[in-house]
Structure 1
Amino acid sequence: MTGIADGRAVIVTGAGRGLGRAHALAFAAEGAKVVVNDLGVGLDGAPGAGSPARRVVEEIRAAGGDAVAHHGDVATSEGAASLVETALEAYGRLDALVNNAGFLRDRMLVNLGEDDWDAVVRVHLNGHFLPLRTAAAYWRAEAKAGRTPCARVVNTSSGAGLLGAVGQGNYSAAKAGIVALTLVAAEELGRYGVQVNAVAPAARTRMTERTFAETMAAPRTGFDAMAPGNVSPLVVWLGSAASAGVTGRVFEAEGGRITVMEGWRRGPSADRGARRTPAEAGETALELLAGAEAPGAVYGAGQRSGAPDV
């Protein structure tokens, strides 16, 4: 099996199902050696039965590819360390990290408990930061030893993190944090040969197929726009050497559509060179808002069709 990722060692977290599984299969189909990570928990993060990571490894091997399973919790330092160690022990190298693991505990803000907040923020933010930090330490050591890598990181954000989603305050905040982490990591790690980007995908997964059943349903005929595999080609390209020069970017990916997202930029501004009174500040703010672009509608606010990204 040869292709755009031929010979590269790639980690994909949360790869037992949905988008992660699709990414792992797509990398393997393009010649990558894949570490398939999945803790095997349910949609809400509770322990589940079976080993989805093992099943994906078997799929890859049956198709002639090379893969190993990892069942650790990547939202812990120990799990992140063993994840990278698994790649190095199995393949002697690590070329790309795809952070994808996550789950939901949706609640409206007034009903959102601290435990549900902490659990979602932990798995998404810690589950991105800790593998990224561990992999970055390896790549930095390689660069300092004169073996500058051609390394790639692909983080998974969401439309919920870019625009917000009603009933997903915890998830939206975590996914927004992932975007900021991506921007910082891209700047800090570039000197070591590491490129860091993020995708905000929309696809049929356990997170969306029941809540947005009608939108996510597969058509009887024709193009299945919500199939998770539609997102994977962009992720594989970002994880390959072919994406040289692309870093610190966020992409939306859905069906056959790819969009470069443009985040916070300075819009209308006014500087009087002196302090304003509250009334004057309000007057200036209203004048500036009159010339500013309207923000995108929050998912679930009744102003925009479609489902939150995952």
Structure 2
Amino acid sequence: MICKDRVVVVTGAGRGLGRAHALEFARQGARVVVNDLGVARDGTGDASDGPAHEVVKEIEQLGGQAVASPHDIATEEGSAALVATAIDTFGRLDVLVNNAGFLRDRMLINLSEDEWDAVMRVHLKGHFLPLKHAGRYWRSESKAGRPVDARVINTSSGAGLLGSVGQGNYSAAKAGIVGLTLVASAELCRYGVTVNAIAPAARTRMTEEVFAQTMAAPAEGEFDAMAPENVSPLVVWLGSAESRGVTGRVFEAEGGKICVMDAFRHGPAVDKGARWDPAELTPVLTDLLARSAAPEPVYGAS
């Protein structure tokens, strides 16, 4: 019961990773706000509160407490209402898990402006707005003298860290989430809030076609490395009091593997102390690149 009595919001919690997170938080004693619009894999179609209510029902069958949230977290009003739902229902908010997202995959030269905007909206704006309203709540609690021990877990991706062919919009949004995580961790620490990100690999509606083409299904009784439930223990730990002091970090999670990701760091450098002439730079940059680590390959690159 590592999260006993903590109040947790999980966005995109009707299916896949979000559902797995919500259920694991409930098993660990948390009270959960299950947010989901119930739309299709690509974000289209009519909204439905059915998936969120199904997860609430599952949590209640476990003996836990949960409430459904049908709010659109990529709008100012929806994200404010989401945070208010947690506070009005359970009296406070301790953990925000930003997980909601969908795909509009296309090679860059075929990617439409609408497909770019839609993915940026749900992933990047859909992280920023709930974080903004949760942060405002925690700031007001801190300024009122009430203790805050809060957590934010954002969802990036290997595509955002290394790139992924055919996913320029998704990769850019997920890279933006890493930058947002770093800034939020620095800005909110004074209020008792830690902010971290995960880069999960799991079989969900968003990835099932890829895994079906590249990986055989596990045999009966064999460990299913791509089950979304494998990622949730890390998310729950990051949402618990145990993770106090861990902030501004990105963790890759796949199967039984957890990896602390190293993002951009200052590498080899040369300082001339004056302006360079372009003709001077070939040997200088050749040396710098030779002394730096080679980038890891982009997913899907030949």
Q: Which residue of 1 aligns with 2:167?
A: 168
- Aligned to 2:126, the other structure's residue is in SS state helix
Distance 2:254 2:191 in 1: 31
Distance 1:9 1:275 in 2: 55
Describe how 1:59-138 pairs up with structure 2 within 5 A: 59-138=58-137
1:13 aligns with 2:18: no
Q: Which residue of 2 aligns with 1:291?
A: 291
Describe how 1:85-234 pairs up with structure 2 within 5 A: 85-215=84-214, 217-221=216-220, 222-234=222-234
- Residue identity in the other structure for 1:130: L
Distance 2:227 2:279 in 1: 52
Distance 1:148 1:112 in 2: 47
Distance 2:158 2:37 in 1: 25
- Aligned to 1:103, the other structure's residue is in SS state coil
Q: How many residues align?
A: 300
Shift of 1:97: 0.2
Q: Which residue of 2 aligns with 1:244?
A: 244
Distance 1:190 1:60 in 2: 31
- 1:142-177 CA deviation, whole Å, 9 max, x = no partner? 000001211000000000000000000000000000
- Residue identity in the other structure for 1:257: K
2:37, 2:47 within 8 Å by CA — same for their partners in 1? no
Note the residue ranges of structure 1 that are not aligned, 5 or more in a row. Answer: 303-310
- Aligned to 1:147, the other structure's residue is in SS state coil
Q: Which residue of 2 aligns with 1:308?
A: none
Shift of 1:217: 5.0
Shift of 1:216: 5.1
Distance 1:53 1:26 in 2: 15
Shift of 1:121: 0.5
* Deviation larger for 282-291 or 150-159: 282-291
Shift of 1:282: 2.8
Distance 1:299 1:154 in 2: 24
Distance 2:95 2:58 in 1: 21
- Residue identity in the other structure for 2:119: V
1:217, 1:226 within 8 Å by CA — same for their partners in 2? no
* Deviation larger for 215-224 or 270-279: 215-224
CA 1:55 to 1:220, structure 2 compared with 1: closer, same or farther past 3 Å? same
RMSD: 1.0
Distance 1:232 1:69 in 2: 19
Distance 1:25 1:80 in 2: 22
Q: Which residue of 1 aligns with 2:24?
A: 26
Describe how 1:49-64 pairs up with structure 2 within 5 A: 50=48, 51-64=50-63
TM-score normalised by structure 2 residue count? 0.97
- 1:249-305 CA deviation, whole Å, 9 max, x = no partner? 000000000000011011111111111211212331112111111001000003xxx
Q: Which residue of 2 aligns with 1:306?
A: none
